[in-house]
Chains A and B, each alone.
Chain A
Amino acid sequence: DTEVTQTPKHLVMGMTNKKSLKCEQHMGHRAMYWYKQKAKKPPELMFVYSYEKLSINESVPSRFSPECPNSSLLNLHLHALQPEDSALYLCASSRDFLNEQYFGPGTRLTVT
């Protein structure tokens, strides 16, 4: 199984809402990532987890809160987002650092 799954596929939320994005992989990968991708732009790294511990936070605003409940799951909790946070949110995993990353299909988020 070389699949990374993400739910939901689409999400529309207001600026006062609280929602969560979910990501799951069963490849035994020890590194998991959250990226944000705007239209016609490359993926932009947000967070990296290694062995279930947060290892990189790319100065992401606190309205984005990551969580890694176990080695297979990665969540991104959203609260009080702004319209400019509308984007495709991609989860990825890799066996370890310096290895290829497997991306999920992404969650297309719209903040109204």
Chain B
Amino acid sequence: GQQVMQIPQYQHVQEGEDFTTYCNSSTTLSNIQWYKQRPGGHPVFLIQLVKSGEVKKQKRLTFQFGEAKKNSSLHITATQTTDVGTYFCAREGTNAGKSTFGDGTTLTVKP
């Protein structure tokens, strides 16, 4: 239905290694948003993808939207300890305003 599946649930990396989280939907997405929530914090908006095949970069973060608009990924190059947190993708459903979050990928970085 309106859910988005996110994998992996957890990822432990050594500082300097890369990290990728994936978000998949069985239905076409109108857009996909990515948020980061630090431990003890609140979700903070990172990016919104709208167009098929879109790729956006923010420093070491690369966001992709699949050609079929059914999947998205967030890739972090050379992780740092400041990247620690849970990364959520979120979709807007057919009922405008109804956002559904994926289960999130929790990243831990070992210095």
Identify the A interface with B (CB < 8 A). 31, 33, 40-45, 48, 50, 55-56, 58, 90, 92, 97-106
Instruction: Please tell me if B103 contacts chain A, counting CB pairs below 8 Å.
Output: yes
Instruction: Please tell me if B85 contacts chain A, counting CB pairs below 8 Å.
Output: no
Number of chain B residues close to chain A: CB under 8 A = 23
Known: A31-B97, A55-B97, A97-B97. Contact between A103 and B43, CB under 8 A? yes
Which residue of the partner chain, among A42, A97, A103, contacts B92 with CB atoms under 8 Å? Answer: A97
Tell me the B60-84 residues at the A interface (CB within 8 Å).
Answer: none
* Number of A-B residue pairs having CB atoms within 8 Å of each other in the complex: 54
Kindly provide the distance from the CB of B81 to the nearest chain A CB, expressed in whole angstroms: 21
Q: Across the interface, do B45 and A42 meet the contact criterion of CB distance under 8 Å?
A: no
**CA of A35 to CA of B43, assembled, Å:** 11
